[in-house]
Amino acid sequence: MSTWFQLGDVRVDVVRKKIKNLHLSVLPPLGRVRVAVPERMSMEAVRLFTIDKLPWIRRQQRKLREQERETPREYLERESHFVWDRRYLLAVTEVDQPPSVELSHNRLVLRVRPGAAQARRQEIIEAWYREELRAAATPLIKKWEPVMGVEVRHLFIQRMKTKWGSCTPRSGSIRLNTDLAKKPRECLEYIIVHEMAHFIEHTHNERFVELMDRFMPKWQYHRDVLNRLPVRHEQWEY
């Protein structure tokens, strides 16, 4: 069930769910505000909560407007692509064999069948990014499991529109945004620790901050680096 109310120039969409805590989101591309609330919470309580968060909402909306956006990719020869925060020039080779992607010096080499359309080139490269990210994330998860005392049973890599990562503690699942393979490796590690910390504390409360401070003292630095980097046109920060 959903409804909405207005706070000055800010429209707030309210979605009622079977949850215990409120979840406030500022969504791309225009900064739409959505709050997920427990089913029985009164609208007045929701309104007071949102009024208290208005300064934060406006800061996020301002960041959305100001954050640098990636130029849409066309998957053409000598186009720039980033892998682990390093710039590579795309080299497209048409060959009558199964497609492949590899890094060679400063080039991202894409081998495709003759006449492969842009959509097919994009599909191949994004599949390669997913595998790169999985290969980098798996040992990091194994590194942090004994340190944090939690177990990640499922790892999903997918394109995500509004988050760098998410998790489902009940099933021991973590989801990572494919685009993390374009960012510094330290940022990937920060997101993994962030999501694993949610296995211990589900919300972003003081206890969560204490956990992050204990496990990764420089986590706020990595978060800020990640959120200053260019993102896809539809993507928001973490």
Q: What pLDDT digit, counting tens, does each position of 93-143 carry?
A: 999 999 999 999 999 999 999 999 999 999 999 999 999 999 999 999 999
Residue 233 has pLDDT above 60, yes or no: no
Report the 10 Å Cβ neighbour count for 174. 25
Q: Where are the domains of the chain?
A: 2-66, 80-228
Contacts of residue 35, Cβ cutoff 8 Å, sequence gap at least 6: 12, 13, 14, 15, 22, 23, 24, 25, 46, 49, 50
Residue 89 has pLDDT above 90, yes or no: yes
pLDDT score recorded for residue 103: 96
pLDDT category of residue 160 using cuts at 50, 70 and 90: confident
Residue of 161 and 211 predicted with greater confidence: 211
End-to-end Cα spacing for the chain: 26
pLDDT score recorded for residue 236: 43
Q: Is the pTM of this model over 0.85?
A: no
Distance CA 94, CA 232 (A): 27
Q: Both tokens of residue 203?
A: 């919300």
Quote the CATH superfamily of domain 80-228: Metalloproteases ("zincins"), catalytic domain (3.30.2010.10)
pLDDT score recorded for residue 144: 98
Percent of the residues in the chain that have a pLDDT greater than 90, as a whole number = 72
Average pLDDT, the chain: 90
- Residue ranges of alpha helices (H) inside the chain are 43-52, 54-66, 118-148, 185-197, 206-215, 219-228
Residue of 57 and 224 predicted with greater confidence: 57
pLDDT score recorded for residue 235: 45
Q: What pLDDT digit, counting tens, does each position of 3-30 carry?
A: 999 998 899 999 998 888 888 988 766 7
Report the 10 Å Cβ neighbour count for 117. 10
pLDDT score recorded for residue 63: 77
| Contact assessment for residue 196 and residue 188, using Cβ atoms and an 8 Å cutoff | no
pLDDT score recorded for residue 223: 87
Triad 128, 161, 220: Cα angle to 5°: 90
DSSP of 144-180: HHHHHT----EEEEE--SS-SEEEETTTTEEEEEGGG
Residue 238 has pLDDT above 80, yes or no: no
Residue 194 has pLDDT above 90, yes or no: yes
